Structure 1
Amino acid sequence: MTTFQISPHSHVFLGEDHARAERRTWAVIILCVVMMVAEIVGGAMFGSLALIADGLHMSTHAGALLLAALAYTFARRYASDANFTFGTGKFGDLAGYSSAIVLAMIALLIAYEAITRFFDPVPIAFDEAIPIAALGLLVNIASAWLLAGGHSHGHGHSHDHAHDHDHPHDHDHDDDHHDHAHHDHGPHDHAGERHHRDNNMRAAVVHVMADAAVSVLVIVGLLLARQFGWLWMDPLAGFIGSLVIASWSVGLLRDTGAILLDRMPDPGMAAKIRATIESEGDEVTDLHLWRLGPGHLGAIVSVVTSEPREAVHYRQRLAQFSDLSHVTIEVQHLA
């Protein structure tokens, strides 16, 4: 006779600071839109083409951040949608990957423009360009402060209390037993903190910091060009900025792409899972570990044992790892 004990459970694997990050991202978008409108209107009123151009640039800035904000909103709105097998925790990683592609394209465009200006210099209106670059830097600093203020950026969380909201599904059938466990977050094991990163927020911050870095380089280049007549300093500053942006873009592409492809997020955690189970003489024959969302890992573990142990025994052994938010265990008994 087969016995099933079924309990409903949640597949909501959003980051701990999801709601706060969503609010902060929308706040930065509002700031960018206000600045965009002010620059475009001011440029039209005072006949400044440079001011209008910077306003249009600010619109692309707001558009990139809109991608992050929508990812937060959709992930929250559809978090309980059963059509998403393992929840919507990867929405942010998908948005981060998309933002990294946009950043890479921006880096290529800046590099192309810089190289073109090396061979074909253009006259620079220093009195307009320098204040606008300074204004852009201030907006980026304010944006970075809004995005980062009070946000953990996916580093460790610690709690003074532990929760155990497990909902086991014990499927007992002959010698094969499956158990699914869902753990809330208690005290953290601090190995592999990278899987706590909110890559959606990281992409937004990288975009802002990339703009800030370019603004600093542009200001330095313009000041040197005006002071010493080195017009080549402006395109050089732009080219260096493109390399910085490209470097950040590659890092973001690598990390988010690995998550979207379910690459092993934390080899150290996998080793601890294996060691914990095999410490009693059992054997782990198959182990899958992947990221479900910021701070949430999923695991499928197959165990072969000669002892009369059921799946719930191994679930209790693994409960010490609070990052394991969704665990499925299969037990095979040796005859």
Structure 2
Amino acid sequence: MATHSHDFLGDAHDSNARRTRWVVWLSATMMVAEIVAGTLTGSMALSADGWHMATHTLALGVSALAYSFARRNNGDQRYSWGTGKVGSLAGFASALGLAAVALGILYESGLRLVEPRSVAFGEALVVAVIGLLVNLASAALLGHGHSHDGDHGHDHAHDHNLRSAYLHVLADALTSVLAIAALAAGWWFGIGWLDAAVGVVGALVILHWSRGLVIETAGVLLDRVPDQHLCDELRAKIEGPGDVTVHDWHLWAVGPGRYAAIVSATGATPSEVRRRLGDDKRIAHLTVECS
């Protein structure tokens, strides 16, 4: 008996996995460099940035493992709807981790505003610039795949795993830019408190990004209707001029840009319902019940 494929991974799954692995190696290398340099120079700011990058390296590692898990278990019949949503699960977990990191930065920055600490501005500035370059290179690698998530006309075809990794490196790039500005101001103008102040600003921006990713990925995991416009469009196709009545209609995401649908209708046969829907590539799995 023929079996129905449950391969709902995104078209760029393997390419995005390779990009993420490259970024993990770049981030891990820079993480070690910052922690070692911070320890040798006695720069608390640099050491803190290194440990901050360590948390992101861990999150990126989770993203890379999610890609591997999804591909390895893609044909496993124990996963009724395939492994296309593993990326959203990893994105949700990474977003929570990102929020935790932001809260940690916010707390530490608040302490430093109250009790300023000495910083080796010159040495820290050099390594912070190198860190920014690494972050920009990582963002370019991930951003290339991220910019193609919506190809083929699928406005909601987001690879949440790639997006979470992309936001992690953007968050690192943001904190690097703010750190460079603060370190430069402290070194050249003696404005030491700016280092902690920009830490607060960066943490709040990161919290905003993570909140958006949590909301989007949670919607996928909870089978929220992914695209109300698409839902209404497909239902209108089935009902046609009013000769068919749809009693029950469900649409949910099973992978990046791939949806499953269940239709219960009267006034038409299952084959007629399928004919009216047409060969829509977005509908990866369709169940029709007619009475």
Change (3 A) 1:242 1:128: same
Please state whether the residue corresponding to 2:8 is helix, strand or coil.
coil
Aligned mate of 1:31, from 18, 26, 38: 26
State the 1:48 CA deviation. 2.6
Q: Distance in 1 between matches of 2:48 and 2:84?
A: 37
Higher relative contact order, structure no. (Cα contacts within 8 Å, ≥ 6 residues apart): 1
User: Considering only aligned residues, what root-mean-square deviation do their CA atoms show, in Å?
Assistant: 1.8
> Does the C-alpha gap of structure 1 residues 75 and 288 become closer, same or farther in structure 2, counting only changes over 3 Å?
same
Contact 1:11 1:80 in 2 (8 A): yes
2:216 is aligned with what amino acid?
A: D
Query: For residues 197 and 79 of structure 1, what CA distance do their matches in structure 2 show?
Result: 19
Give the CA deviation at 1:249.
0.3
Picking from 295, 317, 321, the partner of 2:276 is 317
Of the structure 1 ranges 91-100 and 51-60, higher mean CA displacement relative to structure 2 is found in 51-60
Kept in 2: contact 1:284–1:301 (CA 8 A): yes
2:166 to 202, 205, 219: 205
Residues 233 and 212 of structure 1: is their aligned pair in 2 closer, same or farther, counting only changes over 3 Å?
same
Q: 2:126, 2:209 → 1: CA distance?
A: 27
What code does the residue aligned with 1:301 have? V
- 1:53, CA displacement in angstroms? 5.3
Amino acid at match of 2:251: L
- Does the aligned pair in 1 maintain the 2:38–2:124 contact within 8 Å? no
The answer to whether the 8 Å contact 1:299/1:327 transfers is yes
Q: Does 1:221 align with 2:182?
A: yes
Q: Following the alignment from structure 1 to structure 2, what is the Cα–Cα distance between the partners of residues 150 and 86?
A: 24
Q: Structure 2: how far apart are the matches of 1:43 and 1:106? A: 19
- 1:43–1:113 Cα change, 3 Å: closer
Which one has the bigger helix percentage?
Answer: 2
Partner Cα separation in structure 1 for residue 160 and residue 145 of structure 2 = 16
Please say if 1:295 is aligned against 2:249. Answer: no
Output the TM-score relative to the length of structure 1: 0.81
What is the Cα deviation at residue 93 of structure 1? 0.2
**Could you say what secondary structure the match of 2:151 adopts?**
coil
- 1:78-100 deviations in Å (ceiling 9; x for gaps): 00100001000010000000000
What is the identity percentage for the equivalent residue pairs of Structure 1 and Structure 2? Answer: 47
- Corresponding position of 2:229: 268
Q: 2-side partners of 1:42 and 1:121: how far apart?
A: 21
Q: 1:272 Cα shift?
A: 0.9
State the partner residue of 1:330.
289
Shift of 1:304: 1.1
Specify the alignment match of 2:91 in structure 1.
96
Which residue in 2 is equivalent to 1:161? Answer: none
* Per-residue Cα deviation, 1:41-78 (whole angstroms, up to 9, x for no partner): 5667xx33436655444432321110000000000000
Q: How much does 1:128 deviate? A: 1.4
Give the paired residue count: 288
Q: 1:54 to 1:213 in 2, by over 3 A?
A: closer
Q: Report Cα offsets for 1:115-143 as digits up to 9, x if no partner.
A: 11111111121111211211111110111
Give 2:116's aligned residue. Answer: 121
CA distance in 2, matches of 1:76, 1:89: 9
> After superposition, what is the alpha-carbon deviation per residue over 1:264-293, rounded to whole angstroms, capped at 9, x for unaligned?
111111101111111141100000000000
One-letter code aligned to 2:95 = A
Structure 1 residue 11: Cα displacement = 0.4
Matched ranges for 1:189-204 at <5 A = 193-194=155-156, 196-204=157-165
Question: What amino acid is the match of 1:36?
Answer: M
Could you tell me how far apart the structure 1 residues matched to 2:32 and 2:114 are? Answer: 34
| Structure 2: runs of 5 or more not aligned | none
User: Which of 5, 9, 18 is equivalent to 2:13?
Assistant: 18
Structure 1 or 2, whichever has the larger Rg, is 1
Alignment gaps of 5+ in structure 1: 1-5, 158-187
Deviation at 1:263, TM superposition (A): 0.6
Q: TM-score, normalised by structure 2?
A: 0.93
* Partner residue in 2 for 1:59: 54
Which of residues 96, 107, 112 in structure 1 aligns to 2:107?
Answer: 112
1:54–1:132 CA contact under 8 A, matched in 2:
no
Cα distance in 1 between the residues matched to 2:218 and 2:94: 12
> Could you tell me which of 135, 147, 152 is aligned with 2:130?
135
The 1:55/1:111 distance shift into structure 2, 3 A limit, reads closer
From 61, 68, 76, the equivalent of 2:63 is 68
